[in-house]
Structure 1
Amino acid sequence: MQTPTAIALGNFDGVHRGHQHVIHTLVEAAPPECYRSIITFSPHPQAFFTGEERLLLTPAAEKRALLSQYGIEQVIVLPFTQQLAQLSPLEFIEQILVQQLQAKVLSVGFNFGFGRGRSGTAEDLRTLCAAFGIPVHVVPPYCHGGDRVSSSAIRAALATGDVDLARELLGRPYALTGTVIYGHQLGRQLGFPTANLALPTDKLLPRHGVYACWVTAAIFPSPQLGVVNIGVRPTVDGQAVTTEVHLLDWCGNLYGHELTLHLEAFIRPEMQFSALADLQSQIAQDCREAATLLQRVKSYA
């Protein structure tokens, strides 16, 4: 950890447009001698208190990569423990922000809460930090279509397969990044070879179904057109959830390579077919629809 710091506080799951405004405010306000930093917590405070696993829009590696694009130089992960949870707002400022991190300027969203039982508000943070000479920038809500952009709204959109809305709230397509592993080779037998991705176990998946996507990887000279199936493959009595992508205009050995799928459009929900021939016919139709959709937008950005 590098100090002194200029800090944006929060969990930043998704690094959506609202988060981006908090980060931009920090980058603009940071003194040149400070390391532009994000403070986040592990486990997520909600997971800590409920004991339930929380799937993430942006697991750790993905979040770090995105934050670096917006000018963040270091991500400081604080272990969320019972001891940390019991700190009062003033104790959190004194022990964590001042003594440990040597914070010189802070940026938070308008609804930021901190300290025991989230008893401290963003305005409390500004008032208490003033005694230590630390300016606090409280960023107002960022709205889209009259509604506040939030991680919860993105989760709700993905649950219905609305990747268009998710893209508007994120400022980019929702992406799935994973390493290609060996599967059951069923797609190859049907004439549509697929790359089976091993995704982070804490990655939130959208509604099960078929999506048109752009596929990027170091092995590709440019983004590739793809159609991805997310689900349990009920036609072949699948049990585990898989993410498998068929590339429309590229063939070759992808095992061991890391691919990123940028979800562009929802094509259809997961379906069960009475015969493999029916599944094969439907996949061909999905590929035609995906090609039409992706050729129309021409880019995943």
Structure 2
Amino acid sequence: MRVIFDPTQISRPTAIALGNFDGVHIGHRHVIAPILPSALSNHDQHLTSTVVSFSPHPQEFFSKQPRSLLAPFDEKVALLESLGVEQLVLLPFDADLAKLTAAEFMQQILIDSLQVELISVGFDFHFGQKRQGNITDLKNVWGDRLTVIPEQTMLLHDPTPIRISSSNIRVALAKGEVDLANALLGRPYNLVGKVVQGKQLGRTIGFPTANLDLPVQKCLPRDGVYAVQVSISSSPKPIFGVMNIGLRPTVNGDRRSVEVHLFDWQGDLYDQELNVDLVKFIRPEQKFASLDALKAQIQDDCQTALKHFAVSA
């Protein structure tokens, strides 16, 4: 998949899915599906399957505050590529783009720059200055070449359907509701990062951990302990384990860390990339009276995780 920042490098004409697509969740995949090469008719095979998004996120531009992301850049690229998208165009969201009217956005970006012939968007998509542009504006130009994906919901334990959205996934992660977040994503929420040198305190109590260096924009779930499944390039199969996210109050930690303890693993993990899938939230982070009490709790956490994996197998 090509990633395009320079409009002169775009492969044209295009079939586009337009939006932010943070997390590439189930709802996003419904929006992207109509423009994939496998979905295009013989008449449209000449079009380049393209996802058009923005960098930075518009909310980050207007708020001037860093925004955490469910899928930072590298993750988003990998997820879109796995779907079969041929091209990702990242429009620089700056003052010039923000002041374009809806009509100017359609003419300058969609028609002149991208040569869009086919569009897919979500039902609530807005664009242009002050979000004045809407589905009707797109429909007036592209007619039946516009696909509008209706609101996507999911019926889980509660009889009231829940909307599939990045916002609801964030709320679920903040509460430690991993099952809900994973259901809305259509895949396990994961943390991808390299193993870096830590304080090695886990070794002293018999639970060595791998400390993950994550992208600064990565949205972290609730502090606490999780059952996880880890993929490592040096291992032919995934490895089960437990992960702690938090400040490590028992040892007077002063900054948030992400540490993974792998079951049945021996070997050097430094500088290796770990892909950690969140499977189950076990408990919130807490401060213990002693290292022995912490060790006993970690043993219990490991047993809880192993029981969950055994039931799930």
Instruction: Give TM-score, length-normalised by structure 1.
Output: 0.96
Contact 1:227 1:247 in 2 (8 A): yes
Instruction: Confirm whether residue 150 of structure 1 aligns to residue 165 of structure 2.
Output: yes
- Give the corresponding residue for 1:197: 212
Give the letter aligned to residue 20 of structure 2. N
Shift of 1:198: 0.2
Residue number among 192, 203, 209 corresponding to 1:188 in the alignment: 203
Which SS does the other structure have where 1:129 is aligned?
helix
Q: Which runs of 4+ in 1 moved over 6 A?
A: none
Which SS does the other structure have where 1:205 is aligned?
coil
Which SS does the other structure have where 1:15 is aligned?
coil
Shift of 1:70: 1.2
Contact 1:11 1:41 in 2 (8 A): yes
Residue number among 79, 96, 120 corresponding to 1:66 in the alignment: 79
Give the letter aligned to residue 32 of structure 2. I
Give the letter aligned to residue 68 of structure 1. E
| Distance of 1:256 and 1:57 partners within structure 2 | 23
Shift of 1:225: 0.4
Instruction: Confirm whether residue 245 of structure 1 aligns to residue 260 of structure 2.
Output: yes
- Give the corresponding residue for 2:273: 258
Q: How does 1:89-108 map to 2 (within 5 A)?
A: 89-108=102-121
Give the letter aligned to residue 138 of structure 1. V
Shift of 1:295: 2.3
Structure 1: unaligned runs, 5 residues or longer: none
| Distance of 1:104 and 1:98 partners within structure 2 | 8
Question: Deviation per CA, 1:43-88, whole angstroms, max 9, x where unpaired?
Answer: 1100111111100000010011011111111111110011111111
Q: How does 1:151-166 map to 2 (within 5 A)?
A: 151-166=166-181
Give the letter aligned to residue 189 of structure 1. T
Contact 1:90 1:128 in 2 (8 A): no
Contact 1:110 1:122 in 2 (8 A): yes
Shift of 1:123: 2.5
How many residue pairs were aligned? 295
* 1:141–1:29 distance in 2 versus 1, CA, 3 Å: farther
Give the letter aligned to residue 11 of structure 2. Q
Contact 1:40 1:78 in 2 (8 A): yes
Give the letter aligned to residue 24 of structure 2. V
Residue number among 71, 75, 79 corresponding to 2:92 in the alignment: 79
Contact 1:9 1:108 in 2 (8 A): yes
Question: Deviation per CA, 1:245-286, whole angstroms, max 9, x where unpaired?
Answer: 000121110101000110000000000011111001111111
Q: How does 1:274-289 map to 2 (within 5 A)?
A: 274-289=289-304
**Percent of aligned pairs with the same amino acid:** 50
| Distance of 2:312 and 2:72 partners within structure 1 | 28
Instruction: Give TM-score, length-normalised by structure 2.
Output: 0.92
Range with bigger deviation, 206-215 or 145-154 = 145-154
Shift of 1:210: 0.1
Contact 1:7 1:103 in 2 (8 A): yes
Contact 2:117 2:142 in 1 (8 A): no
Give the letter aligned to residue 242 of structure 1. S
| Distance of 1:66 and 1:10 partners within structure 2 | 15
| Distance of 1:159 and 1:240 partners within structure 2 | 18
Which SS does the other structure have where 1:296 is aligned?
helix
- Give the corresponding residue for 2:19: 10
Shift of 1:240: 1.1
Contact 1:248 1:291 in 2 (8 A): no
Shift of 1:294: 1.6
Give the letter aligned to residue 99 of structure 2. Q
| Distance of 1:26 and 1:32 partners within structure 2 | 10
